[in-house]
Amino acid sequence: MLRLGHRIKTVLLQVHSIAGLVLAVLLCLIALTGTIMSFEDEIVDHLNAGILQVVPRTAPALLPDELVARLKGVPDAGKVAAITLSSDPSAAVHVRFARDEQGARPSSLYVDPYDGSVLGVPRGEDFFATVRRLHRWLLIPGDAKGWGRQITGVAALGLMVMLVSGLVLRWPRRASSVKMWLKPNLGLSGRGLHRSLHAVIGTWVLPIYLVMTLTGLWYSFDWYKDGVVWLLSRPHVAAAKMQPKQARAAGRAEPAPAVGFDRAWATLRQEESGGFARVQLTLPVGPGTVMRIRSWPKDSTLESMRDEFRIDAFSGQVISAERYADKTLGEKAIASVLDIHRGAVLGWPGKLAFMIAAALMPLFAVTGVLLYLSRRKLRPSRQRATLGDDVADRAGDRQVATLGDTKGQLDGIELRKVHQIGRVP
């Protein structure tokens, strides 16, 4: 049984090492870009503090369609795709534009809600958009429809394999000892120090990496996303979310009616009679007339704590209403995948902890490579091939212990001879 355990650990060590060597650079890239985005909202708000607020006035704010009409004369302004409005009379309106024919999206604008004047382009938006594309899709063409999405998913699966195999290899003989699990031995040097840092700090961040991996797979594989929805949602909710998207009908398309914001905006204000903090109205991408609207209540503390509506922008009819307060615990977890992924569900301490954990990924890559190279250098290749790395370590330890015992016996014999010559009792 002991021999079987040694073989299992030997195989796990090889799997852990190979996965780490193959994925080290990719995982470091994904982790470091995630570190940069940890406090994106706070950084962007700080950089654009001068254009986020306006002086409140007694005159009523302009309706969304009037704001859009006044932006037509702005140079380089494309087709408006979404507008974010706030119940705060001193908050500016955030306007986003649709992609052009080349697939590029113009920079968004902050606009005065009272006269439609442009306050400025938000600084840092393009930078974080590029970092986000690098984090999710590795800047591979096609974005979510390209190969980058699957590559990052494979990296997440590889990290999952390393977490499980590393935990098994890390399991100490005194598993109940907190010191064995959590205290690194900084008095060591060389390979011993590398091993201590790799194992102990890896134990610290293992729960965070596990959460990051499980939530990150949500954005990479549709089969994983559908499985989570089926597991955590009510049957009718899961059936609605897992419906395949309908392909556009081929042939001559009927002209779609002109779609604006005002009718849907009026319907939403009736639906949200209790008030809201801010609302995002998004026009349909295709020829349809159904508009997606997200509404954040005044007591919401997370980006995921929002109500979602589907409203016909032409008739003002409510197609569907999905309120956060009516969701089950599992459905709230699904809605909060992004906040869980970056630790925002725990407030700023959680975001800080997740940021530090992501920033430590290069440490495991460096120490892992050093440990692999030291194993290759210190052990005879024949012993490695015959016994395996873990058993070879034990064989080396036994050799050292045997040499120590032999030296002790020789020292005892030499001391007895000295005593006899000196007639020491």
pTM for this prediction: 0.83
How many CB atoms within 10 Å of residue 251? Answer: 5
Is pLDDT at 391 greater than 60 in this prediction?
Answer: no
* CA-based torsion, 4, 8, 13, 14: positive or negative: positive
Determine the pLDDT at residue 310. 94
Determine the pLDDT at residue 259. 76
**In the structure encoding, which two tokens stand for residue 27, read together?**
């995982």
Can you tell me which residue has the tokens 């999952």? 160
Phi, psi of 119 (to 5 degrees): -90, -30
Phi, psi of 237 (to 5 degrees): -70, -45
How far apart, in Å, are the Cα atoms of 407 and each of 251, 400, 403, 413? 91, 11, 6, 10
The answer to whether the beta carbons of residues 391 and 10 sit under 8 Å apart is yes
Determine the pLDDT at residue 9. 87
Domain residue limits, the chain: 1-48+123-221+329-378, 49-122
Among residues 379, 398, 397, the alpha carbon closest in space to that of 388 is found at: 379
DSSP state of 360: T
What span, in angstroms and rounded, lies between the C-alpha atoms of 243 and 236? 11
**DSSP strands (E only) in 268-359:** 278-282, 290-296, 307-312, 318-322
What is the pLDDT averaged over residues 16-39?
A: 96
Alpha helices in 37-103 (DSSP H): 40-47, 64-70
DSSP state of 314: T
Per-residue pLDDT tens digits for 191-226: 899 999 999 999 999 999 999 999 999 999 999 999
Determine the pLDDT at residue 401. 40
Determine the pLDDT at residue 179. 82
Determine the pLDDT at residue 1. 61
Phi, psi of 288 (to 5 degrees): -70, 180
The residue ranking higher by pLDDT, 31 or 187, is 31
What span, in angstroms and rounded, lies between the C-alpha atoms of 318 and 328? 22
Per-residue pLDDT tens digits for 73-96: 787 778 899 999 999 999 999 999
Determine the pLDDT at residue 255. 52
Per-residue pLDDT tens digits for 136-165: 999 998 888 899 999 999 999 999 999 999
Phi, psi of 336 (to 5 degrees): -105, 20
Phi, psi of 109 (to 5 degrees): -135, 150
Determine the pLDDT at residue 244. 66
What span, in angstroms and rounded, lies between the C-alpha atoms of 104 and 110? 19
What span, in angstroms and rounded, lies between the C-alpha atoms of 160 and 170? 15
